[in-house]
Structure 1
Amino acid sequence: MTRPLPDRVTLLGIRHHGPGSARMVVAALGALRPEVVLIEGPPEGDALLAHVRDLTPPVALLLHDEADPARAAFWPFAEFSPEWQAMTWADANGVPVRFFDLPAAVSLADEERDGEEPRAVVDPLGTLAEAAGFDDPERWWEDVVEHHTDPRGLAEAVVEAMTALREEFADQVDARTLRREARMRQGVRDALKSTAGPVAVVCGAWHVPALRDLPPAAVDAAALKGLPRRKVSGTWVPWSHGRLASSSGYGAGVTSPGWYAHLWETAAKGDGVARWFARACSVLRSEDLPASTASAVEAVRLADTLAALRGRPTPGLSEVTEAALAVLCGGDEVPLRLVHERLVIGERLGEVGEGVPRSPLAVDLDRLRRKLRMPAPAFVKPMRLDLRKDVDRERSKLLRRLEVLGVPWGTPDTTRTLGTFAEAWQLHWKPEFAVALAGAARHGTTVEGAARHVLVERAAAAGRVVEAAEVLNRSVGCEIEAAVTASRLALDRCAAAATDALELLAALPDLATTVRYGSVRGTDPELLRVALHGLLARGAVGLPLACRNVDDDTAERALAAVDGADDAVRLAADDAHRGTWRKALATLTTMPDAHGLPAGRATRLLWEEGVLDSSEVAVRLHRAVSHHAGATAFVAGFLRGSAALLAADPRLFTVVDEWLTGLSPADFDAALPLLRRAVTEFSASERRLLGDRVKAGTAQGGSRAEDWDEALATRLADHVRALLADA
C-alpha cells in the first residue's frame, strides 16, 4: 500500500541551471540543516563528490562505458545550478551527499533502446507559462522565479504547480522517466534507513509529485528488474557556458547561461542591471566600438522604464537587450550579437584541479599544455606557429598527435599561406573532447605513445597506396619515427600490389607534401623522395591507358588525379621525373580514344608549362570541337583552373567562343553541367575579364561591339528564359 513521504523529508523541486532555484536550495538547506542531501544524478558519481572543492564551475561529471568509451554521458553544473549549490553546501557543512537517480550503468546501456520507446512530450515550463498568459517560457520563469523573494513560498508553489501538471498529463510520462523515479524512491528509502534526521531531496520539479508517496519497495524493484548494465568509469571535466546553452543542443540547457551567471553573482548587491550595462560597454570597447558611461546610464534608465511599463518587478533579459540595442548599439544588430555571445551566452570555461582522478593520457596532455603554454579556450583562438622555433614545433607536434587520436583541439587554417616554416591553427577546446580522450586512453598512457600506436595500426591496416601515403604524411607531421618507418613499409607494400595508375597518382600530393616538409620535421626527405619518384614513374606510364574508353565518373577521378599529380611534380619532383610526367601528359593529349576531361586538362597543363605553344593548342582545341562527340568534355577539361591565360590569348578565346555560340539549344543544355563546373572555379575578377572580352569581341575576326546580331540575341535571350523557367 502506498504511504505518504515522512515529514522529515523535504522535496526541493528545481529547474536545472536556474539561479532562482539555486537561491531557494541554499536558503532551504540553511534552514533545514539536513543530515543527508540527495541530488538528482547517477550514483556512480558519489565517489567523485569528494573533489567538489577542487573544481571551478562550470564543470561536468563525465561517465563512460569502460568497454566502449565513446558511449558516454555528461552531467553539467554551473555555479548557479541548484545541484552545485547543494553539493558545495554539503561539502562545507560536512553533510553526506549522494546522487540518487538511475545509475549511468543502466542509462548508457539503455540508450540502445531509447529509439524504441516514446519520450515525454510535455514541456512543463511552456505549459505553465501558457497557462499564465505568457508566450515566452523564459520570461515567465524570470518573473515568477528569478525575481521571487520568498524561497519557502517558491518551493511550495513549484510543488503545487508540478503536481497539477502531472495529474493532467499522467498518460504522457514515458517509461524511462518512470524507471528513474522508481530508482529515486529507492534512494529516498535508503536515506531514511541511514539516518533518523532530516533529509533534503534536490531534484527536477517534474519528478517531485512522483516522490511524495512511497509505494511498496517491491513495486519499484520490479520496475528496475532485468535492466541492462555496463561497467562505468568517470571523472570531472571542464565545461563552458556555451555548452550549457539550449542552442548547443543540450536538452536541459537554458537560453542565457551568461545572464543567469550574472544574476547569481549580483543578487546580493542589488545593482545587477547597472553592472550588466557596464560589462556590455566593456565588451563593445574591446572591439573599438563607442560605448560611453553616459550611454550606460541612459540604458539603465530605459530598461527600468520598460520593466515598469510591462509590470515586471525588475528589468529582465528582454528589457536589458532592448535597451542595449536602442542606446548602446544605435539600433544595429551586429554589435548586439557581440554582446549576446560574450555576455548572454558567455565564454566562461571551468577548471578541474590536479587532485581529481583522471586517465594517465589526460594527465600527460595537461602537463604538455602547461609546459607549452597553450590555452584551452572555450572560443576559437587563432595561433601562428614558426616551426624553426623549438616551442612552436612542439606545439605543432602536440596538435597533430591529438588530431590522430580524434581530439581535434586545433584545426589547420588552410585559408592562410604562411610559407614553409609557418603554420596557422584555430584552437577551440570543446568539452566533448574529454570523451574522445577517454576513448584514446586505451592506446597508451602518453600522447606520443598513443599516437604512435594508432599510426602503426593504421599503417598495418592500409590496403591502398592513398591510405598508406596519408598515414605517412601524418606520421611525419607527428614526428614519430616508428610510425614513419611503419607507414613507409606499408607504402612499399601497397605500391607493389597496385595496378591502377590513378590510385598511384592519387597518393602523390600527400607524399609530395611530406617530401618537401620532411626536413623541417626532422625526417630524411631523400628516403621519401625515392618513394615519390617510384610512384610517379609507374603512374605516369599507366595514365594514358587509364583514361581510354572510361565513363564520366572515372574521367572525373582521372582529372583529379592529373591535377594532384601535377601539383606534386611541381612541388617535389626532380627535372628527370618532371620530364617523365610531361611525356605522359603529351601521350594522353594525342590518344584519340581518351576521355575528353583528362585529355583537355593535360593539354591545358602542357600549355601552361610552355611545352605546347598557343598555335599547337589552338589546333588541338579546334580538332576536338570539330568532333561532336566528346567536345564538351575536352573544352571543360581545358577550361578548368584559371581563366586569365585563356582571356589573354585571342586565338584560343576565339576557338572556344565560336564553338560555344555555335551550339544548338539541345547541345548547349547537354554541355551546361560540365561547363558550369569549370567556370565556377574562375575567380570573380576572371569572370569579369571574360565578360569584357565577350563584350569587346575577339581580336581575330570576331564580332565587334557595334555589330549587333538581333536574331542571335533574341535566340539567346529566349533560351536563357527557358532555362530559368525550368529551374
Structure 2
Amino acid sequence: MATSADSIHFFGIRHHGPGCARSLLQALEALRPDCLLVEGPPEGEALLPMLQSAELRPPVAMLVYMQDAPSQAAFYPFAEFSPEWQALQWASRHGVSTRFIDLPQTHAMAIEFARREALKKAMEEAEEGDAEVEANAEEEGDALLVDSFEAAAQEADAQAESAEVAVQELSAEPQHRDPLDWLAHAAGFEDGESWWNRLVEERGDNEALFESINEAMTAVRGELARDGEGIAEHWRGEAYVQREAMREAHMRQCIREAIKAGFQRIAVVCGAWHVPALKENVTAKADNAVLKGLPKAKVQATWAPWTYRNLASSSGYGAGVTSPGWYEHLWRCYQRDMESKQEQTQDSQALVASKNIVSAATVRTAGWLTRVAHLLRDKDLDCSSAHIIEATRLASSLAALRGQPTPGLEEINEAIVTVVCMGETAPLRLIDDELTVGHVLGSVPADVPQVPLQRDIEQQQKSLRMKPEAAAKLLALDLRKENDLARSHFLHRLRLLGIDWGTPAQDAQRNRGTFRESWQMQWEPELAVRIIEASVHGATVAQAATAKLRASLTPETALPEIAQAIDDALLANLPQLVEVLIATLAERAATTGDVAQLLQALPPLANVYRYGSVRQTDTALLATVIDSLVLRAAIGLPVACMAMDEDAAAAMKQKLLAAHDALRLRGTDGEAQQAVDAWRAALRSLAMGDAAAALLRGTACRLLLDEQMLESDEVVRQFNRNLSLGTLPMDVAAWLDGFLNKQALVLLHDESIWGAVDAWLSGLGEVQFAQILPLVRRSFANFSNHERQSLGEKARRAPVAGAAAPATVATGDEAGPWDEQRAALALPVLNALLGLNMPETLMSQSPVAPDFESAAVQL
C-alpha cells in the first residue's frame, strides 16, 4: 500500500500495556494528529461520545452482539492503562476525528455464525450415520448379520472419518504460540510475555519505542514468511490466517479512506503484530478481492462493565495480561511522574533526571509493598514497616544483580517471600489474587444503549441495595424480613433466566432454620450477554422468568421436572405460574403409572410445602397433590420393585428414601393420614415379601423400624429369614446393606439386632464366610470412623447370649446366682453418698436375701 511517510504514523502497541500507553501519549502530544485510527469495531463509533462521561469508569468493554442470536457476541475490553483507551481519551479531549478500523463485526459474526452452524450440521450428520448403521444391523437376519454389519461398519467408518475431519477443520481452535518467544529466548528470557513486560511495560516511556517494536515485528513476520505460510497455519489454524488477512485488508482500506478524506497527520494505533502488514505495498484491488462477498448480520453495540479478573490471561482472554493490578499500579506511578515533571522547569529537569529515575523506581516498589502490607494486616498476617524497608532494598539488589534498572514484579515477589513471608509461598497466592490481579469492576453510564430487561435489573439492584461487585462474597438472607425476601425472589428469578449472579450456598453459621438463605455473589462481565439473551422472554425479570420457565415445559415433560419447576416458581415468587403448574402436575399424575416418576416428583413438592409458610405462599392445593401422588406411588410400589438388577435397585433405593423423607415433611395431619397409612402398608408389603430386590426389602424393613412400625422380635425374624444359610451371598449382602443404610446406630443400640447379626456370622462356614466378607465389608465401609471403632469395641466384649432372640432382663426364678455378701458391701458407701439412715443392725448383720431386699427398698 503506497503511503506518505509524513501523513501516516503507525504506533504498534500491546493491548493493555501501561508502558505502551505512556509512550503513546507522549507520541500523540508530539505529533498532534488530526485523525486517529484505532483497532476496534466500527460499530462502536456510536459509543465514543460517552468517553467523557464521569460514569464511564474502566475497566469497561465494548459489547457487540447479533440481534437475532445474542449469544453470538464479542467484547473489546479497555482498562485505564490500555493504550487504546488513553488514545481515545486524548482524541476526545482534543476534538480529534476518531475511527475504528478493525473488520466490522457485522461480517465477523456472520462468518463465525455460519462456521458454527456448519459444525453443528456435520456433527448431526455423523450421529445420524451411526444410528442408521445400528438400525440396519438390528434388522438383518442372523445369516446375513456378519457380512452386512461389516460392510455397514466400513461405510460408517468412512463417513465418520470424513465427518470427523470436517468437524476438526471447523472446530479447530488456534494453537496460541507467541512468536515473540524467539526474541525472548535470544535475549535470555523464558518467554515472550516476560521479555515484553521487562523491556516495554515496566521500563517506562521511550519516544523511540514504536520504531523498535515495528522493527521487531517486521523481523518475526519475515521469518514466518521465509519458512512458508504453512507454519502460521500450523500454529494458529487456517481459519485464523484467513480471518487475519481480512482484518488487515480492511484496516488498509480504512487508512486509504482517511488519506482520501484529506487528513494530514494520521495516527494508526493497532496491535504491534499488524504494523508490518499495514505498511506493505498492497493494492486496493487486492484488498477488495479479499473483502468481496462477505456475509452480513444485524449487530448492536453497547458499553458493559468489565473486571480485572476477566482481563487477566488466566481467564482465557486471548489478549489478556498476567497482572492487571500490577499494571494499574505502574500506570498510576507513571501518572504521578508526569505530573511532577510538568511542575518542574526545563532546566531543573535536566539536572535531576538521573535522580528522578532512581527515586521513581524506589517509590514504585515501596508503594506496591505498602499495599501488600495493608492487605496482609487486614488478613491478620504479620507485616511491619521494617519488613517493607528490607523488602524494598532486597528487590532493588535483585534487579541490580540481574542487570535491570528497576525492580519488576518478579523481584518484588521474591523479596516478599524471603523477607515478609519467611520462605512461605501461601501468602503470595493471596497477594496474587487480591492485588496482582485484583477485584476491580468498572461502571457505565445509565444512558448507554440497553434492552428493557437490563434496565429493569439495574432498577431492582438499586431498590434492593444489591451493588454488583467483582469480588466473591457471601450474602446471608433472613426471609422473615421484607427486603431480604424480595432479594431472594430477585436472585431466584435471575437463576431461572440463566443469569447466575448469585448461586445458592451453604453457610453453617447462618443456615439454621427454614427462614435462612445464603448466596455466593460475584458479578461476571459475561452476564451482560446472558441478560441480552434473556430479553427475548420479556421486558421485566418477572415476565421473562415466567415465560422462560413455561416455555421449557412441554407435553412430554416428566413429572419430576414439573415438580422441580413448581419449586423454582415458588422460590421466585411467581404465584400465577405455580397454580398453573400444580394443575398440570395433578392432571399428569392422574394418568401416569410410572412409580419412579411419582417418587421423584415428591421431594421438590415437599420442599415447596415446607417453605410455603415462610415465603407467605398458600400451599393448600399443593398438599392435595402430594397426597394423591403418595397414594398412587404406594399402590404401584410393590409391583414396580420386582425383577430389578443391582443398578436398577440402587437407583430405586435413592428414590424410595427421598420420597420417604418428603413424606415426613408433609406431616401426618388428618388429611395426610390416609396417604401415610397407604405408604406404610406398601413398605410392609415390600419388606415382608420375596419378589422385590433384596436391597429394597432391607431398606423397607429399616424404614418401618425407624417409624416404629416393627417390633424388635419381628425385625429379628426378618434377619433370620433373609440372612439364612440357604440365601445367596449377594442377596444377603444387599439386604443387609439396605437395612443398615450407611448407619451403624441400629447395631450399637439395639441388642436384639446386634445379636441376630452375631448369630448369623457365627453360623457361617469357612467357605461361606470367605464369600460373604467382601460384600459385607462394602456396607460397613460406609460407616464413620467413630462408628467402626464403637462396633469394634462392642465386638470385643463378651458374646451375646441368645443372639437370635430379643435381650431381656432376667428376674425371679430365671435370675443367675446371687452373692448377698458382695452386694451388702455397697450399703455403707451408698448410705454415706445418699445420706440415708440405715439401721446399724441392718448393715452389720450377716447378709441374707430378705434383709438385703428391705434395704434396697429403702434406697
TM-score scaled by structure 2?
0.78
Match of 1:296 in 2: 388
Say if 1:458 and 1:512 are closer, same or farther in 2 by CA, change over 3 A: same
Match among 225, 234, 243 for residue 310 of structure 2: 243
Query: Aligned to 1:315, what secondary structure does the other structure show?
Result: coil
CA distance in 1, matches of 2:5, 2:50: 31
Aligned-pair CA distance for 1:148: 3.5
Say if 1:283 and 1:517 are closer, same or farther in 2 by CA, change over 3 A: same
Aligned-pair CA distance for 1:290: 1.4
Match among 153, 158, 183 for residue 128 of structure 1: 183
Count of aligned pairs between the two proteins: 700
Report Cα offsets for 1:247-279 as digits up to 9, x if no partner.
111111111111111111112342111111111
Aligned-pair CA distance for 1:18: 1.0
Say if 1:643 and 1:250 are closer, same or farther in 2 by CA, change over 3 A: farther
Aligned-pair CA distance for 1:321: 0.6
Match of 1:38 in 2: 37
Say if 1:5 and 1:610 are closer, same or farther in 2 by CA, change over 3 A: farther
Say if 1:680 and 1:325 are closer, same or farther in 2 by CA, change over 3 A: farther
Does structure 1 residue 153 correspond to structure 2 residue 211?
A: no
Does structure 1 residue 513 correspond to structure 2 residue 607?
A: yes
Match of 2:377 in 1: 285
Say if 1:121 and 1:366 are closer, same or farther in 2 by CA, change over 3 A: closer
More displaced, 260-269 or 571-580? 571-580
Contact 1:239 1:431 in 2 (8 A): yes
Query: Aligned to 1:7, what secondary structure does the other structure show?
Result: coil
Match among 462, 472, 483 for residue 566 of structure 2: 472
Aligned-pair CA distance for 1:225: 2.2
Query: Aligned to 1:38, what secondary structure does the other structure show?
Result: strand
Q: Within 5 Å, which residues of 2 pair with 1:210-225?
A: 210-225=277-292
Aligned-pair CA distance for 1:667: 9.2
Aligned-pair CA distance for 1:467: 1.2
Contact 1:46 1:98 in 2 (8 A): yes
Q: Within 5 Å, which residues of 2 pair with 1:445-484?
A: 445-459=539-553, 463-484=557-578
Q: Within 5 Å, which residues of 2 pair with 1:247-262?
A: 247-262=314-329
Aligned-pair CA distance for 1:666: 10
Match of 1:638 in 2: 739
CA distance in 2, matches of 1:680, 1:99: 66
CA distance in 2, matches of 1:672, 1:103: 67
Aligned-pair CA distance for 1:50: 2.0
Query: Aligned to 1:351, what secondary structure does the other structure show?
Result: coil
Match of 1:619 in 2: 717
CA distance in 2, matches of 1:34, 1:166: 28
Match of 1:70 in 2: 71
Of all paired residues, the percent bearing the same amino acid is 44
Larger radius of gyration: 2
More displaced, 420-429 or 635-644? 635-644
Contact 1:5 1:214 in 2 (8 A): no
Say if 1:684 and 1:69 are closer, same or farther in 2 by CA, change over 3 A: farther
Match of 2:456 in 1: 364
Contact 1:64 1:233 in 2 (8 A): yes
Q: Within 5 Å, which residues of 2 pair with 1:530-679?
A: 530-575=624-669, 576=673, 577-626=675-724, 627-628=727-728, 629-653=730-754, 655-656=756-757, 676=778
Contact 2:22 2:205 in 1 (8 A): no
TM-score scaled by structure 1?
0.91
Report Cα offsets for 1:158-208 as digits up to 9, x if no partner.
100000000111223422211211121122122222232211111111111
Does structure 1 residue 493 correspond to structure 2 residue 548?
A: no
Contact 2:102 2:250 in 1 (8 A): yes
More displaced, 401-410 or 640-649? 640-649
Contact 2:474 2:521 in 1 (8 A): yes
- Counterpart amino acid of residue 596 in structure 1: A
Say if 1:157 and 1:454 are closer, same or farther in 2 by CA, change over 3 A: same
Contact 2:496 2:548 in 1 (8 A): yes
Match among 401, 425, 437 for residue 345 of structure 1: 437
Match among 246, 249, 252 for residue 185 of structure 1: 252
Contact 2:178 2:192 in 1 (8 A): no
CA distance in 1, matches of 2:558, 2:76: 42
Aligned-pair CA distance for 1:78: 0.9
Q: Within 5 Å, which residues of 2 pair with 1:408-447?
A: 408-414=500-506, 416=508, 417-447=511-541
CA distance in 1, matches of 2:4, 2:221: 18
Query: Aligned to 1:520, what secondary structure does the other structure show?
Result: coil
Contact 1:58 1:241 in 2 (8 A): yes
CA distance in 1, matches of 2:780, 2:37: 66
Say if 1:140 and 1:691 are closer, same or farther in 2 by CA, change over 3 A: farther
Report Cα offsets for 1:120-178 as digits up to 9, x if no partner.
65413323211211114333223210244453211111100000000111223422211
Contact 1:511 1:528 in 2 (8 A): yes
- Counterpart amino acid of residue 45 in structure 1: G
CA distance in 1, matches of 2:797, 2:97: 86
Aligned-pair CA distance for 1:348: 0.8
- Counterpart amino acid of residue 569 in structure 1: L
- Counterpart amino acid of residue 99 in structure 1: F
Q: Within 5 Å, which residues of 2 pair with 1:287-326?
A: 287-326=379-418
CA distance in 1, matches of 2:398, 2:590: 77
Match of 1:725 in 2: none
Contact 1:5 1:213 in 2 (8 A): no
CA distance in 2, matches of 1:283, 1:83: 31
CA distance in 1, matches of 2:51, 2:615: 43
- Provide the alpha-carbon RMSD of the alignment: 2.4
Does structure 1 residue 526 correspond to structure 2 residue 620?
A: yes
CA distance in 1, matches of 2:433, 2:513: 34
- Counterpart amino acid of residue 295 in structure 2: P
Aligned-pair CA distance for 1:333: 2.1
- Counterpart amino acid of residue 316 in structure 1: G
CA distance in 1, matches of 2:748, 2:600: 30
- Counterpart amino acid of residue 225 in structure 1: K
Aligned-pair CA distance for 1:461: 5.2
Contact 1:147 1:313 in 2 (8 A): no
